[in-house]
Amino acid sequence: MRTEPLLEQPTRPTWGDWLLVGLLWTFAGLPYLVGAQPAVLAVVATVQIVPLAWRRAHPVVVFGTVALATLSQVPFSDNVIAANIALLFALYSLAAWASSNLELVLGLSVCAVGALVAGADWAEFAAVEPGAGFPWRLFVIKAVMCLAVTVAAAALGDAARRRRQLVLQLRARAEDAERERDQHAQLAAQSERTRIAREMHDVVAHALAVIVVQSDGAAYAVRHTGSVGTAADALETIGATSREALAETRRLVGVLREEGSAAELAPSAGAGDIATLVDRVRDAGLPVQLETDGALEGLPREVGAAAYRVVQEALTNVIKHGGPDATASVTITRADDRLEVTVSDTGRGLLPGADDQHGHGLVGMRERTSVLGGSLRTGPRPGGGFVVTAEIPCGERTSAT
């Protein structure tokens, strides 16, 4: 059964429909008004042809009207008339626009009966020898010809319907694909903004941690030791850290404000910046050792960025929670297709409630590693302190360029 909605089905005749009706009536109806044929055939032809204007909007009603008009010609004419072609147009439209197969089957049945009636009427009229009996051979020929043209009209109409439905389905799929593309773009933009928000948290948290430590150190130096040089060095470190954080924050905010510029303006911190990060933390007063053994060479960009942020967040936590005598070490190794980043310290570790599994720091590191298929382990270090270990898949080692 045809259950799909027939989209774009006209509800009223178009100029093309009226043009078809006008041409058919001119060649198949008008001659009966000016010739010697019975005038009633002009009326029959008109009733057959004019309803075709509504053949797409109301295919069942039009087919029934044209079929009755065609049947009504039998008492007035024993031969085919040109207007009979209107029945083929009506059957074609029934096959193309009807809403169910039952309507098409009924239409074909009516045409089959009509073909038998017309074949008998026309065969008897065309018999060469009157009184020689019913011309069965001629009847079969004419009936088969009528059945053939009706089946062909129905087949063409059904093919047109299938083609139209295919076009509509392809159009619907294209619209769905376009909507899905827009949704993916929106999700990608949202994901990018979320990533940028995490980047901003890392930048600001790290900078503020350095600023707090340096400002406390400067205040202590001025009040208790009178060392202006130490205070000046701390203030310079605060200024450099603040300027760098401000520049990166502006860049991140610019990404959020300008549509389509995320890829161009996204933070570029990666594996090559880890050494600079460690130097900056060391200048801030936290003794840090870095061991890489060439593990950072040839890393994919996203892996290098994740490693950088893990080191940054872990050192930020050491600055905030490790205490004044804490030291830290950063060890980065690479075995086959996995990168291992370990940041350990000798401080007092996280204070209760300072940054647990629900805090932004550890959760952020865990998200960065898990999104790349890696894992993160954190916990107290034997003998005191804290250790953060991240394992990130990085693919096969590639040669550095």
Per-residue pLDDT reduced to its tens digit, 240-266: 777 777 777 776 666 565 555 444 444
* Cα–Cα dist 295/330, whole Å: 12
Q: Which residues pair with 387 in a beta bridge?
A: 344, 379
pLDDT at 34: 73
Radius of gyration for the chain, computed over Cα atoms and rounded to the nearest angstrom: 44
Low-confidence ranges of the chain (pLDDT < 50): 1, 3-7, 261-267, 353-359, 399-401
Q: Which two tokens stand for residue 230?
A: 């130490």
pLDDT at 358: 41
Per-residue pLDDT reduced to its tens digit, 35-71: 666 778 888 888 889 999 998 888 899 998 988 888 8
* Cα–Cα dist 388/341, whole Å: 8
pLDDT at 328: 92
* Cα–Cα dist 124/338, whole Å: 94
Closest CA to 46 of 24, 77, 74, 75: 24
* Cα–Cα dist 149/170, whole Å: 31
